[in-house]
Structures are given as C-alpha cells and as structure tokens.
Structure 1
Amino acid sequence: MKYNPDGQFYKVTTTIFQFTFLNILYLLSCLPLFTIGAATSALFEVTIRFADDERGELIIGYLQALRTNFMQATASFLLLLFPIVALTYSSLFWFSAETILASVFALLLTVAALYLFIVLVYCLALIGRYENSFKHTLKNAFLLPLSAPVRSLGLALIPVTAFCVVILFPVVKMLLLIFGFSFVIYCSSFLLLSVFRKQHA
C-alpha cells in the first residue's frame, strides 16, 4: 500500500495515536491527585481547540497548557472539591436514615453536589479556553449552568454514563485506560463549545 500522509487512513490513525498518548499523559499528570484540576483543564484546552477545528499540536499543546493553567486550575479544583465531597458524603448519610424527610434533604444535598460538579467542569474548561482573572472565571462558572441548564446537565451525564458503562462492562476498563478519559473530555468539548458560543452570540 502506497504511503500517503494526506490520506484519510493516515489522518485517522494519527489522531487515534495522539489521543491514546494524550490519555496516558493525562493519567500520569493526575498521579499526585492534587494536579487533577490542572491536568483536566489542560485536556479541556486542547480538546476544545480540536473540536473547534483549530487543531494544533495535542501533546505539545497539552504540556504547555498544563504549565500555564496550573495555578488557577489547581486552586479551582481544591476550592470546589471539598464541598462536593462533603455534600456527597452528607447525602449518603441522610439517605441511609430511610425516612421521607431525610431522603428529601439527601436529595437536595445531591442536587447541590451535582451543581458544584458542573461548576467545576465549567471552571476548568473556562481556564483552558479563556484568559481571565480567577474571580471572574469562578463567577462565570457558577452562572453558566443557570443560563444553559440542559447542556449543563449533559456535561454531568457524559462522565456518569462512562462510569456506569465501566461498572456494567468491566472489559471497558482497559479502553478507558487507553484513550477513554481523553475521549470523554473530547465529547464534553462539543457541549462546552455550544454553551460558550451561545454566551458570545
């Protein structure tokens, strides 16, 4: 078969290889755990750019974004992570009480935790997409779910769906490790782009 660097097969295989390597790089970047926010923000930056047909270098772009976004993304991640964990833990506690009042309270806590999770996703994506102060980025992240509730719910459902698929089909775990995280973030990038475009329309 004749080698054609401009052929569709070459482009597809190159893209798959890049996303696979990007996924591995992302997982390695998350190993200290507190760097998950910076790694996710960097991944959002390159995948949103890719989804918006801006292309660019995925790997080099990721490494540059990881360094550039580190401080803001890490601060946002730690700031929002603790209340999300606290609300989730509290909701599980109240659900275990098995009373109607406790269940209603637990449901409210669950909704609050979900809202903060969506805010976190927006915050990390905004840091990767736009240059802005930490205060304004956080403010915009809290307001976006209210202006685009359906798309925002979709942002939460994409990772939840991926998690459920892994639980139901353990064989998918290997695919998740190979390119799953970068693929999930890439899928989320299209929703994020539609929200961002709506706000700038």
Structure 2
Amino acid sequence: MKFNADGSFYKITTITTQFIALNLLYLICCLPIITIGAATTALLDVTLHYADGEKGYLIKDYFLSLKRNWRQSTVVFLILLVPFLLLGFSSFFWFAFETIIGTVAGLATIAIAGLLLITFIMASALVARYENTTKQTLQNALLLVIAHPLKAICLLLIPLTIGCLAILMPSLKIILIAVGFSLSAYSSAFLLLSIFANHK
C-alpha cells in the first residue's frame, strides 16, 4: 500500500496528534498557576488562527505567542483573579447561612464570578488578536461580553459542558483529558471570531 501524505487519514491523524500535543502543552504551562493567563492566551491565539483558516504550526506558534504575550496576559489574569477568588469565598460564606437571602446572595456572587471568567476568556482572546493597553483590553472585553450575552454565555458553557461530560461519562474521560482544553478553545474560537467580526 502506497503512503499518501495528502490523504484524508494522514491529515486527520496529524491534526488530532497536534491538538493532543497542544492540549498537553497547555496543561503543563498552566501548572505554575500564575502562568494560566499566558497559557490561555497562547492557546486561544493558535486556535483563532486555525479557525480563521490561517493554519500555521500549532505547537511552534503556541510558543511564539507565549513569548510575545506573556507579560500582558499575566497582568490581565492577575487583575481578574483577585476579585474572582473573593467572589468564590463570598459564595461559600453566603451559602453557609442556609437561608433564602443567603442562597440568593450566593447565587449572585457565582453569577458575577461567571461574568469575570467570561471576561477573562474574552480578554485573553483580545490580547492574542489585538494590540492595546491592558486597561483598554479589559474594558473592551467587558463591553463585548455585555454586547453579546448569548455568545458570551456559550463561551462559558463550552468548557463547562466538556468538563461535565468527563465527569458523567467515564468512558470519555481519557479522550476529553487528552483534547478537552484544545477542543474547547477551538470551538470557542468560532464564537470569538463572529464577535470580533461585528466590531471591525
């Protein structure tokens, strides 16, 4: 049997391997915790280019993006991390009362924390896609989330859905761990591109 480098099987295998490698690379880069912002920006950067038809080299381009955007993406991450952690702590505090008011307040803090998480995803994509000040990037991210609430909610639902599938369906756990983050970023890239297209 003759090997065909242009065949569909070879292309699918190559792409799958690259996305698995990209996923593992992302997980490794997130391990120091403080690097989550830079790792996420780089992941969104390469998947945005891939979704936009600018194929490139996923692994090589990931490192280039990491080097190029690490400073601003880390600052963005730390700015949003502090209130996110405070809101998380507040939600436990309110739910501990086990009252209607406590439950409502707890749910409100979770909702705001969710808003910050979506803003982080949007801001990471903006850092990857555009050059701007950190302050303006955060403002633009929040405004885009407010302007496109349904798409913004989907940005949060995509990783949550993949996470829930990994928990509820053990048979898929290994596959989802292998490609979960890269697949989530790639799926989110199409939503982000459609949002950005409305504000050129």
TM interval, shorter chain, is: over 0.9
1:96 offset after TM fit, Å? 2.5
Residue 107 of structure 1: aligned partner: 107
The 2-side partners of 1:158 and 1:89 are apart by 24
The 1-side partners of 2:171 and 2:36 are apart by 25
1:122 offset after TM fit, Å? 0.4
The C-alpha deviation readout for 1:79-138, integer Å capped at 9, x for no partner, is 101211211221122122121111221222111111111101101111111122212111
The 1-side partners of 2:84 and 2:159 are apart by 16
Residue 169 of structure 1: aligned partner: 169
Residue correspondences, number: 200
The 1-side partners of 2:178 and 2:104 are apart by 40
The 2-side partners of 1:96 and 1:104 are apart by 12
Q: Normalization by structure 1: what TM-score?
A: 0.95
Please give the secondary structure, in 1, of the residue aligned with 2:198.
Answer: helix
The C-alpha deviation readout for 1:9-38, integer Å capped at 9, x for no partner, is 211111111111111111111121111110
Q: Does 1:18 align with 2:18?
A: yes
Task: Using the TM superposition, name which of 42-51 and 136-145 deviates more.
Answer: 136-145
Amino acid at match of 2:139: K
Q: Does 1:120 align with 2:117?
A: no
Task: Using the TM superposition, name which of 98-107 and 62-71 deviates more.
Answer: 98-107
Please give the secondary structure, in 1, of the residue aligned with 2:199.
Answer: helix
Root-mean-square deviation (CA), in Å? 1.2
- Unpaired runs of 5+ residues, structure 1, are none
1:171 offset after TM fit, Å? 3.8
Task: Using the TM superposition, name which of 4-13 and 171-180 deviates more.
Answer: 171-180
The 2-side partners of 1:180 and 1:118 are apart by 18
1:46 offset after TM fit, Å? 0.2
Q: Normalization by structure 2: what TM-score?
A: 0.95
The 1-side partners of 2:175 and 2:13 are apart by 16
Residue 157 of structure 2: aligned partner: 157
- Unpaired runs of 5+ residues, structure 2, are none
Amino acid at match of 2:186: Y
The 1-side partners of 2:194 and 2:161 are apart by 20
Question: Matches of residues 16-165 of structure 1 in structure 2 within 5 Å?
Answer: 16-165=16-165
The 2-side partners of 1:47 and 1:187 are apart by 9
Please give the secondary structure, in 2, of the residue aligned with 1:69.
Answer: helix
